[in-house]
Structure 1
Amino acid sequence: MQQTSSSSFGVGDDVAVGDGASASAAAPTPPVEQYTAEERQMAQRAAEALSAGESGGLLAAANQRPTKPEQVKQLCSAHPADWAAQQNRAVADYVRSAYFRTEEFRQTLFNVASTAKFSIDACDQIEEPDSAVLFYNLALLNFYQRQHLEARRILKAMLPLSELLEPAFYRALVMLLLDTFLKLQCPEDAIQLLADGEKVVSQADETDSALSASAVESDGGDPGRGRGAGGLERAKSDLCLIRIAALLMRRDLGSAKQLIKANRQHPSADFTRTLQFHRAHLAYLAGNLRKALRLMHDIPGTPRSPTDTGECEAVMQWNNLACVHFHLGKHNLGAFYLKRAIKENEKACSDYQAKKANGKGSHVLHHQIPLRAYSISRHYELLHNLGLELLFSGKPVQAFDYLLEVINVYPRNPRLWLRLAECSIKYQRLSNSADREFRIRQRAVKGVVGSGRHRKLLLGTGVQEIKKPWEESAAMPTPTLEFASLCVRNALLLLPQEPPFPHGDTDYHGHVLRWAETLCLPLSPAGFLRGVQLIQFRASVLTSAAYIALCLCDHLQALRYCNQLLSQPALSDCQLYLGKMYLAEAKVNLQVPEHISKDYLNDAVQLLNPASVTRVDVLPAQPPRPDDWPKRKESPAPSVSQWTPDNVLEAQNIMKYNLSVVYAIKGDFDLARQHLQDVVYNPKGQGMSPPFPAHFYFFKLYLDLMQGRRSFAQLLLKETFGHLTPNPPNWRSKPAAAAPAVAPPDASAVQPPQGALPQQ
C-alpha cells in the first residue's frame, strides 16, 4: 500500500545557492581577483532572494544598477575563474526557467565540478565544505529524477561536514536524506538519522527563540519578524510524518499508533490529510481491511495539486483502495480502481503537456518538464500492480501484457521475471482442479471403433496438451512454457550467488541464513528483499523452474533444480512437498525403459512417503512476536492465492497416487492397485472425493487391463463414460486375458504455488 508523507512534499523546494564572493576565497581553484563592495552586496542580495524562493526577487536583486538581465552574466564574466559564481549563475538561470531546463542545469553543474576539480563519481566522502552546495544540487536532481541510490551516496558523503555547514543548509541536507531513505525503503537508516534531524531542528528553534526575545526588546514587540518560525514548524511536522512512515515501514505498529494518536489535533490541514493516509496504512498492515477502506474514503479536504506537492494524491488514493480490495479477495474491483488510478496519472501528466503545447498539439520535449514533474508519474508502478491484480484474478494473458511492459523498464528485477513465468504457467494450467472437469476427464478415453464383438476402445495418452496458440519468437515474447523457462533462468541469474561453504562447517543452513542477513536486494518498483525473504524467494523461483522443466521434459535440469530447492533453508511446507514430488518424477523419467535403475525407483518410493506430509502451508511459519499488535477485530482476510491441495489429507492422497504410479513402473501392480484403492475407496472415509482427476481414471484402466481385470475396467467405463459402453458388463464371464501394455501416465499431479504476496 503506497503511503504519502508531507515530508516528500517539503524537501528540496529550492535549489541551494552559495555566495560567490565568499566561496571563492576557500575554493580549490587558482586565486581570483577580489570582489568589490558593490559586487559583494549584489551577490548577497541574490543569495537571499533565491534562498527565500523568490525568482523575481532574485532577478531584481541582481539587476539593481543598471537594470538589465545581462548584469548577472557581467558579474560572472568579470571573474571567470570563480566556479562558485558560475554555479550561482546556473542556479539563477534554472530558477528563472521555472525549473524546466533540468538537463542543461545538470550539465552545467558537471562543468563547474570539472572546473573546480571535484570528482563526482568518487565522492565517497566529501572533505571540502565549499563543494557542499554543488553536491547538494546534484543530489536534489537525482532525488526528483528517481535516482535514489545515487542521491543517497552523495548525501551520505556530505554528513561528515555537519560541523562546517550552516545549520539551515545542514537541516535541508538531513531532510532530503531522510526522504531518500524512505524512497529506498530503508526505515532503520531513517530512524537512526531522525535523531540527528530532530536535534538540528531543536537547536534552530532555541536560537530562533533567543533572537525573537532580543527582537522584542529592540523592535517594540514584533517577535516574529523575519525569523522563519513557519519553516521550523514545517520541519517539525515533516520529521513527525517521516518517523510515522518509517515505523510503519518496519512494521512497528504499536509505536506508530501512539505517534498518530499524539498528533490527531494538529492545526495544519495538510498535515491532517497526510496523517489520514498513515492511519489507513496502519489499519491495512494490522489486517483491519474494512477500517482501512473506511479511512481511505474519509480523507479530509480535496487532493492537493501535484505542482504543489510533487505527488498526485488522487493516484495514491485509488491505488491504495485497489491494494485493500486485493487483500479482500476482490480482484476485479481492485483492477477497476487501478485503471482509475492510471487515468488520474495520465491526467496529471497531461496538464504539463497542455501548458507547454499552448493548444497547438506540439510534442513536449524532455527539457520542457519541470523538476517536480519527474516524480509525479506512477505509470509503471500502477501497471505493475494491475498486472498482479489480473494474474491473481485468473487473467494471466492480460497480466502478461502489462508485466511485459514493466519489465522493459525494470529488467533487473528478478521478481518481475518470476511473475512473467507465473503468467505462462497459469495460462497453461489455470488451476489444479481443472483436471476434474468432465471435458478433461474425457481425455482418458479417445473413443470407440468397430461394433459388436469387434468393438474396440481407444485409451488416451494421459499427457496434458500444451497450449501454443502463437508462433514462438524471440522478438515477441508469449506466455509459453519455453518463455517461462527463460524467465526463471533470468530470475536466478539476477539473484546473488551463495558464497562457498566453509571447510569444516557443518551448519549449511545457518551459513546461508547468516549470509542472507547481510544482503539487501532492490526490486524496483516494489521494495527490497532482505535476509530470510531472499532465501524464500529463491525457493519460489526454484519451485517454478522445476515444474517448468518437468513440463518441457527436461528432466535432468528438473533434477538439478529440485536438488537445489531441497537444500535451501526456511522452506515452506508446500515447497518441501512439491520439491519431493518433483524430484521423484524427475528420477523416474530419467530412466531408459530397457535399463531401469532400481536404485532411482527406490529413491522415488522413499521421497513419496505419504507419512512425511504433515502440513501444506503456502507461507513459512513465522515465530510469534511479543509486540504483535493489534489483535484483529475481524476474521483473517481470504488468501490471495487459492492453491490445491489445501489440506494435509488431500496432499497425502495425491502423493499416494504418485507412489502407486512408481510401483506400476517397477512392475508391482498389486501394490500399485492397493495404494490407488486407498486413495479412491478408503474405508475410513479419508479418500479423495469424486469426481476424480482425469489421470486417475486413466491409471485405473491401465492397472485393470494389465492385471486382466476386464470386468472392473468395463464397470469403471460404464460409471464414468457410459455413452461409450452401451452394453452392460457381463459379471459372470471370466476376466479376459491381459491387454497389451500401454504407457503409464505422468507422475505429476500438482503445480507450484504462484509465488509470494505482491509488494504494492
Structure 2
Amino acid sequence: MGLLYLARGEPLLAAQCFQKASVVFCRQPLIWLRLAECCMMALQNGLLDKSEIRVNVVGKGKYRKLMIEENGLVELDGSTQCGKLSLPLARACLSNGIYLLNESLLNESKSDRESTLSVGMNETKEASSADHGEANTNSDLKEAKGGLNQDIIQSSLSAFKGIQSREKLLIKQALLANMAYVELELENPIKALAAANSLLQLPDCSKIYVFLGHLYAAEALCLLNRPVEAGAHLSAYLVGPDDFKLPYEQEDFDQWRMNTSSDCEETLDSSTGNARDSVFLKPEEARGALFADLAALLATQGHHDQAKAMITHALTLIPNNVQATVTAVYIDMMLGRSQDALTRLKQCTRVSFVPGRLEVRAS
C-alpha cells in the first residue's frame, strides 16, 4: 500500500504505511529506503519548502490587495516515530539502510565461508570412508540418489543467492545515490562527495547510477571550490570540447526500470514533480544535465561566453529544469543581458497566484 501511494505521488500517506510496516520490517534496508524516498518526494512536491509562497488576490480596482500565505511542513497523522517528513529524517533513514545492508552482506560473507569449510570437511570424511572398503549395492544407490537431490537443492540455493545479491546491489546503489542527493540538499558537500565516491566504487554498478555518482561528485566538488576535480568527473562523458555522449542508452534505462522493485512507477506523470526525477532522467535529459553542470562550472570560472553556449544546449534538452534556468539567469546577468535574465527569472519564480478566496474585513 505504501508503494502504491508513493507511485501516485502521495508521500505523506505512503510514509504512514511504511512507518506501520517498519514495526515488522525494521531490519530490512528497503523499508528505510522507501521512507527516505517519501521525504525526497515531499521536498520535490513543495511540502518541505517553507520558502514557497501562495498569493491570494482579493478585491478589485484600487482596492485590489495581495494576501500572502506560507506553506509549512505537514505532520504525519498519528506519527510518534517519524514526526515530520524532512531531509534530516531522510538522511537518518538512509544511514539506517546502509548500516543494515552492510551488516547483512557481512553476515552473508561469513556464512559462505563457513559453508565452504563444511563442504570441505564432508568431502574429507567421504574420501576417508571410501578407503575402508566398498559399500553394498543398495547403499550405493541410496547415496547416488541422495547426491542427486543434494545437487538440485544446491543449484536452487545458488540461484536464489544470485537473485538476492543482485537485489542487494540495486538497493545499495539507490541508498548511496539518494544519500549523495540529500547531503547536497542539506549543503554538506563533503558527505555528499563521500557518498558519491562510494557509489562509483561499487562493482557492477549500473550506468545510470555511475552517471549520478559523477554528477553528484562534480556538484559537491564545485561547492568545495575544487573546479578542476569537478571537471574531471564531467569530462568522463565528453566526446569533444563542447559536446557530451549519452551517459547511458535507452536500453540501459528500460532495463534499469524493469529491475527496480517499484513496478507501478510508470503510472506517474512526469509533470507531477516525482521526487526521483533525477534518477528517472531519460538518456537525452541526462545529457542535458551534463551540459547544465558544465555551464555552471564554466560560469564560476568566468568563462561566460562558453557557459552561455552550454546552457543553451542544456535548455533545449531540459527546458523545464529550474536549476538550469537559474544558471541561465546568472549567465545572462554576467553578460549584461538583464532583460533576458528577467524573462527567465519569471519562469522559475516560487510565487503562485491563486484565485482570491479570502475575505478582507475593515479594521
Sort the TM-score into its range (normalised by shorter chain).
0.5 to 0.7
- 2:87 counterpart residue number: 481
Q: Which amino acid aligns with 1:699?
A: T
- 1:413 counterpart residue number: 28
CA shift for structure 1 position 676: 1.1
Q: Which amino acid aligns with 2:266?
A: S
- 2:206 counterpart residue number: 572
Q: CA separation in 2, counterparts of 1:419 and 1:618?
A: 21
CA shift for structure 1 position 406: 1.3
Q: CA separation in 1, counterparts of 2:176 and 2:347?
A: 41
- Is 1:490–2:96 an aligned residue pair? yes
**Residue of 332, 335, 344 corresponding to 1:704:** 332
**Residue of 291, 298, 309 corresponding to 1:674:** 309
Q: CA separation in 1, counterparts of 2:71 and 2:295?
A: 25
- 1:693 counterpart residue number: 321
1:30-53 per-position Cα deviation (integer Å, ceiling 9, x unaligned): xxxxxxxxxxxxxxxxxxxxxxxx
1:551-595 per-position Cα deviation (integer Å, ceiling 9, x unaligned): 11121111111111111123233212211111111111122xxxx
Q: CA separation in 1, counterparts of 2:182 and 2:343?
A: 36
Q: Is the 8 A contact 1:415 1:491 kept in 2?
A: yes
Q: Secondary structure at the match of 1:496?
A: helix
Q: Is the 8 A contact 2:222 2:297 kept in 1?
A: yes
**Residue of 229, 238, 246 corresponding to 1:600:** 229
Q: Is the 8 A contact 2:227 2:297 kept in 1?
A: no
1:399-457 per-position Cα deviation (integer Å, ceiling 9, x unaligned): 111110111222111111111111111111149xxxxxxx98x99xxxxxxxxxxxxxx
Q: CA separation in 1, counterparts of 2:191 and 2:212?
A: 16
Q: Is the 8 A contact 1:467 1:480 kept in 2?
A: no
**1:156-555 alignment, distance < 5 Å:** 386-430=1-45, 468-469=73-74, 475-496=81-102, 530-555=164-189
Distance 1:676 1:486, change over 3 A: same
1:314-353 per-position Cα deviation (integer Å, ceiling 9, x unaligned): xxxxxxxxxxxxxxxxxxxxxxxxxxxxxxxxxxxxxxxx
Q: Is the 8 A contact 2:215 2:234 kept in 1?
A: no
Q: Is the 8 A contact 1:559 1:587 kept in 2?
A: yes
Q: Secondary structure at the match of 1:670?
A: helix
**1:709-748 alignment, distance < 5 Å:** 709-713=337-341
Q: Is the 8 A contact 1:608 1:656 kept in 2?
A: no
- 1:152 counterpart residue number: none
Q: CA separation in 1, counterparts of 2:172 and 2:86?
A: 22
- 1:656 counterpart residue number: 291
Distance 1:470 1:417, change over 3 A: same
- 1:613 counterpart residue number: 247
Q: Secondary structure at the match of 2:205?
A: coil
CA shift for structure 1 position 483: 0.8
CA shift for structure 1 position 673: 0.6
CA shift for structure 1 position 660: 0.3
**Residue of 215, 220, 224 corresponding to 1:590:** 224
Q: TM-score, normalised by structure 1?
A: 0.30
Q: Which amino acid aligns with 1:388?
A: L
Q: Is the 8 A contact 1:396 1:426 kept in 2?
A: yes
CA shift for structure 1 position 604: 4.4
Q: CA separation in 2, counterparts of 1:557 and 1:520?
A: 35
- 1:639 counterpart residue number: 266
Distance 1:466 1:556, change over 3 A: farther
Gap regions ≥5 residues in structure 1: 1-385, 432-438, 444-464, 500-516, 522-527, 592-596, 624-635, 681-686, 722-760
Q: CA separation in 1, counterparts of 2:217 and 2:88?
A: 20
Q: CA separation in 2, counterparts of 1:666 and 1:474?
A: 48
Q: CA separation in 1, counterparts of 2:71 and 2:255?
A: 29
Give the 4+ runs in structure 1 shifted more than 6 A: 517-521, 717-721
Q: CA separation in 1, counterparts of 2:33 and 2:211?
A: 20
Q: CA separation in 2, counterparts of 1:713 and 1:409?
A: 53
CA shift for structure 1 position 599: 3.0
CA shift for structure 1 position 710: 3.5
**Is the deviation greater in 702-711 or in 663-672?**
702-711
Q: Which amino acid aligns with 1:698?
A: V
CA shift for structure 1 position 656: 0.5
Alignment coverage as a number of residue pairs: 259
Q: Secondary structure at the match of 1:613?
A: coil
Distance 1:496 1:426, change over 3 A: same
- 2:66 counterpart residue number: none
Q: Is the 8 A contact 2:289 2:318 kept in 1?
A: no
CA shift for structure 1 position 534: 1.6
Tell me the percent identity.
Answer: 23
Q: Secondary structure at the match of 2:25?
A: coil
Q: Is the 8 A contact 2:173 2:199 kept in 1?
A: yes
Larger relative helix fraction: 2
Distance 1:551 1:400, change over 3 A: same
Q: CA separation in 2, counterparts of 1:428 and 1:586?
A: 20
Q: Is the 8 A contact 2:285 2:317 kept in 1?
A: yes
Q: Is the 8 A contact 2:75 2:85 kept in 1?
A: no
Q: Is the 8 A contact 2:15 2:38 kept in 1?
A: yes
CA shift for structure 1 position 518: 7.4
1:623-667 per-position Cα deviation (integer Å, ceiling 9, x unaligned): 9xxxxxxxxxxxx99836666455322221122011100111122
Q: CA separation in 1, counterparts of 2:336 and 2:74?
A: 41
Q: Which amino acid aligns with 1:402?
A: C
- 1:195 counterpart residue number: none
Distance 1:410 1:403, change over 3 A: same
Q: Which amino acid aligns with 2:15?
A: F
Q: Which amino acid aligns with 1:688?
A: L
Q: CA separation in 1, counterparts of 2:197 and 2:229?
A: 14
Q: CA separation in 1, counterparts of 2:29 and 2:347?
A: 49
Q: Is the 8 A contact 2:288 2:318 kept in 1?
A: no
Distance 1:586 1:618, change over 3 A: farther
